[in-house]
A and B are shown apart, each in its own frame.
Chain A
Amino acid sequence: MSAAAQVIPATTRRQQWVEALAGISFSAPAFILLLLTILAPLGALIFLNFTDYELGAIDFSYIGLKNFNHAWTDPVIRRSLANTLLYVAIVVPGGVLISLFVAILVHRRTRTRGLYEVIYFLPVTSTLIAMATMWQFLLHPTLGPVNSFLKWVGIGEVAFLSNPKLVIPTLAAIGIWQLVGFNMVLFLAGLSAIPRDLYEAADVDGASNPVDRFLRVTWPLLGPTTMFVIVTTFITAFKVFDTVAVMTRGGPGGASEVLLYAIYLEGFQYFHLSYAATLALIFLAFTLVFSIAQTFILDRRVHY
């Protein structure tokens, strides 16, 4: 700042011009893309939602909230929403608590830490479609190794993907499998940030057993990390699509239809575009609260 203060006013005014010009031209590409790929489509989506437009139609008319009313009473959408929420209700607590538990166990390891990190993180980097296909083989009701193991143990065959009651929990287990490593690394970063002397102090205070140490030191200090992990896990879980598209296609009998898959079918398979627009807005409404929370945390959290 000191260098700038010494410069004579004429140059300062010139510098302001240069800055304004550079600022506008530097941000113009981003602004145009923001307009074209996010804001204008969002506006179009809201507009579509009030019409009866279908792909290829020349003519369409304003129908008000008919699409919303239709979605409200549509059994497919109700089922999809219920299934999505059930999936989220399993993946969020499961994905957060299991990864926290694993992170606490891995955190104290010295020589084996890297190995466990690699193993638990592997599903995050791998292509979910390929791995979902493998899970499908593994869980095959009669031929799959998981079921031959269960038979050998004496539990008997379990129809993981063809029993309507089990299909969402099974997909949720695969969802947890995919994101445990991701959450674990976030928790490990949070754990490393806890000063060691706090544990020593807790030791002196008589909190020497692991449960006490966890409740008095680890858990309170991991608060912000946990908050962030819950929010990202919710958003990821709510967007479940890949495993449904590959493994079940909404079956059996609609038992695994989820919201994003319903939007995909309505919009891009049946081309009911205006109805799909309404469904996309419903989807947005559900994720928005969590996206805003995530953006808010992110803005303070990224230290780069």
Chain B
Amino acid sequence: MTAISPGAPAFRAPTPLGFRLRRVASLALVHAILIAGAVFMLLPFVFMVVSSIKPPGEIFEATFRLWPRNFYGLQNFESALTTAPLLKFLINGLIVCLGILVVQLLVAIPCAYALAKLKFPGQPVLFALLLLGLCIPVQVPSLPLYIALAQIGLLNTYFSMMVPFFLSVFAIFLFRQFFKSYPDEIIHAARLDGVSEFEIVWRIVVPSAWPAIAAFSVFSIVAHWNDLYWPLIVVSDTKLATPPLGMMFFADSEVGSNYGALSAGAAIITAPLVIAFLIARRRFIAGITMTGIK
């Protein structure tokens, strides 16, 4: 019982029965509330999995059952995979997310190092402009960006889906904070040894920033895997759709009324990130919440 009452002194005499009963009752109440909340949180996930293995007639039966009378999972997943290029959506998602992440890191890391450790003309101005950039949600520049991409004929390309996110001002701030705490002595010593600034960044400072890079990568991939707004604007070609956009096309098409197949499709699209989350729970939670900005 001590585990649940950290504030209680360890030397307390055996508690009277009434007190212990009250503790058990309050513990039961806490779990009852948390489980009720958990049911609400899991509701769409459970429904998705259950519907994906049910035949069409059983999904909306008056009494909800967890396991189907006739297992229909193979048919649902097969029809989901054949009517919509779901695997293609996943590959598109991967290409877009990795493309964005690689450029974000290549751009943000040297800039963050320059802001944290180097003195150069224009530094305060750059910093102020970056602060301004951090305050502007991506939905604001999206209109002129769309016009520009339309003018140069780059709509419906992977590039158009990635370009607004190449600069992550947030990554610059995150890495700048991290680099600031890197000891100056090591950098000076490396300079005296004739190591170039370029090598100092990529060979000496970056390896020490691994936790920040990992956390940012998780944040970036989750954000762009799930983003609908921008892909919806620049892509109308089904072959280029990212998972959320593909899901929207899928739900709009005539398959949309085949609830079993649609649930199977939703499960396929949701699975990669959810599985990654279950495997690397700590890293995911740290990455997404440390960054805390969308």
Give the interface of A toward B (CB within 8 A).
Answer: 1-4, 7, 15-16, 18-24, 26-27, 29-31, 33-34, 37-42, 44-45, 48, 55, 102, 105-106, 108-110, 112, 114, 116-131, 133-135, 137-138, 140, 143-145, 148-149, 177, 180-182, 185-186, 189, 196, 199-200, 203, 213, 228, 232, 235-236, 239, 241-242, 245-246, 260, 263-264, 267-268, 273, 276-277, 280-281, 283-284, 287-288, 291-292, 294-295, 298-299, 301-304
Rounded to whole angstroms, the CA-CA distance of A44 and B148 in the bound complex is 10
Q: How large is the interface on B (under 10, 10 to 19, 20 to 34, 35 or more residues)?
A: 35 or more
B154 located at the interface, meaning its Cβ lies under 8 Å from any Cβ of chain A in the complex:
no
Give the interface of B toward A (CB within 8 A).
Answer: 3-4, 6-7, 9, 30-31, 33-34, 37-38, 40-45, 47-48, 51, 59-60, 62-64, 106-108, 110-111, 113-115, 118-123, 126, 129-137, 139-148, 150, 163-164, 166-167, 169, 172-174, 177-178, 184-185, 188-189, 191-192, 197-198, 201, 211-212, 215, 222, 225-226, 228-229, 232-233, 243-245, 247-248, 251, 259, 262-263, 265-267, 269-270, 273-274, 276-278, 281, 284-285, 288-290, 292-294
Contact of B292 among A122, A260, A298, A304 (CB under 8 A): A298
14 interchain pairs (CB within 8 A)? A2-B185, A34-B129, A39-B133, A41-B142, A48-B143, A116-B34, A177-B41, A245-B248, A268-B233, A291-B134, A294-B293, A295-B134, A302-B174, A302-B177
- Please tell me if the beta carbons of A134 and B266 are within 8 angstroms of each other in the complex: yes
Contacts of B164 in A (CB 8 A): 37
Top 9 A-B pairs ranked by shortest CB distance? A23-B120, A41-B141, A26-B110, A143-B60, A33-B167, A41-B144, A30-B111, A22-B197, A130-B266
- Please tell me if the beta carbons of A23 and B119 are within 8 angstroms of each other in the complex: yes
- Please tell me if the beta carbons of A41 and B229 are within 8 angstroms of each other in the complex: no
Contact A26/B118 with A129-B228, A232-B293, A299-B173 known, Cβ cut-off 8 Å: yes
Contacts of A4 in B (CB 8 A): 188
Contacts of A138 in B (CB 8 A): 43-44, 47
Rounded to whole angstroms, the CA-CA distance of A263 and B164 in the bound complex is 18
> Nearest chain-A residue to B133 (Cβ)?
A38
Contact A291/B110 with A44-B144, A145-B64 known, Cβ cut-off 8 Å: no
Contact of A127 among B7, B137, B243 (CB under 8 A): B243
- If over half of A's interface residues share one DSSP class (helix, strand or loop), that class is named, otherwise mixed; here it is helix
- Please tell me if the beta carbons of A26 and B289 are within 8 angstroms of each other in the complex: no
Contact A148/B4 with A15-B191, A38-B141, A302-B174 known, Cβ cut-off 8 Å: no
Contacts of B248 in A (CB 8 A): 129, 245-246
Contact of B140 among A1, A42, A120, A134 (CB under 8 A): A42
Contact of B285 among A116, A123, A185 (CB under 8 A): A185
- Please tell me if the beta carbons of B62 and A148 are within 8 angstroms of each other in the complex: yes
Contact A304/B177 with A127-B244, A131-B270, A134-B263 known, Cβ cut-off 8 Å: yes
- Please tell me if the beta carbons of A287 and B137 are within 8 angstroms of each other in the complex: yes
- Please tell me if the beta carbons of A280 and B143 are within 8 angstroms of each other in the complex: yes
